[in-house]
Amino acid sequence: MKASETALVITSIAAPNAVLRAFAEGCQAHGHAFVVIGDRPSPPDFQLDGCDFWSLERQAKMPFELAKLLPERHYARKNLGYLQAIRNGVSVILESDDDNIPGATFWAPRKLEQEVDLVKGPGWVNVYRHFSNERVWPRGFPLELLQTEVPGTTATVQCVSPIQQGLADGDPDVDAIYRFTGVLPIEFQERVRPVALENGAWCPFNSQNTTWMEPAFPLLYLPSYCSFRMTDIWRSYVAQRICWENGWKVMFHNATVRQERNEHDILKDFNDEVIGYANNRAICAKLDPLDLEPGAGNLLPNMRKCYAEFIAMGLIGPQELPLLEAWGKDLGST
Alpha-carbon distance of 278 to 13, in angstroms, equals 30
pTM of the model: 0.96
- Is 166 within 8 Å of 257 (Cβ atoms)? yes
Task: Give residues with Cβ within 8 angstroms of 291, minimum separation 6.
Answer: 305
Q: What is the pLDDT of residue 50?
A: 94
The DSSP result for 41-72, as a single string, is TS-TT---TT-EEE-HHHHTTSS-THHHHSPS
pLDDT digits (tens, 9 = 90+) for 79-114: 999 999 999 999 999 999 999 999 999 999 999 999
Q: What is the pLDDT of residue 165?
A: 98
Task: Specify burial of residue 269 (Cβ count, 10 A radius: 0-12, 13-18, 19+).
Answer: middle
Q: What is the pLDDT of residue 278?
A: 97
Considering just the CA atoms, what is the radius of gyration of the chain in Å? Answer: 19
* Strand residues in the chain grouped as ranges (E): 6-11, 33-37, 52-54, 92-96, 100-102, 113-119, 123-124, 154-160, 163-170, 195-197, 201-202, 209-213, 251-259
Q: Which of 87, 109, 99, 103 has its CA nearest to residue 11? A: 99
Which stretches of the chain score pLDDT less than 50? 1
Q: What is the pLDDT of residue 1?
A: 36
Alpha-carbon distance of 84 to 90, in angstroms, equals 10
Q: Which of 272, 208, 158, 222 has its CA nearest to residue 10? A: 208
Neighbours of 245 (CB within 10 A): 17
Alpha-carbon distance of 216 to 241, in angstroms, equals 12
Going from the C-alpha of 217 to that of each of 193, 220, 224, 296, 315, the distances in angstroms are: 24, 6, 18, 10, 24
Long-range contacts, 145-149 (Cβ 8 Å, 24+): 145/281, 149/124, 149/125
- Is 219 within 8 Å of 299 (Cβ atoms)? yes
Task: Specify burial of residue 247 (Cβ count, 10 A radius: 0-12, 13-18, 19+).
Answer: exposed
* Strand residues in 176-241 grouped as ranges (E): 195-197, 201-202, 209-213
Q: What is the pLDDT of residue 2?
A: 52
Q: What is the pLDDT of residue 262?
A: 80
DSSP one-letter code for 82:
H
Neighbours of 246 (CB within 10 A): 19
DSSP one-letter code for 297:
G
Q: What is the pLDDT of residue 120?
A: 84
Domains, the chain, ranges and CATH? 6-333 (3.90.550)
Neighbours of 162 (CB within 10 A): 23
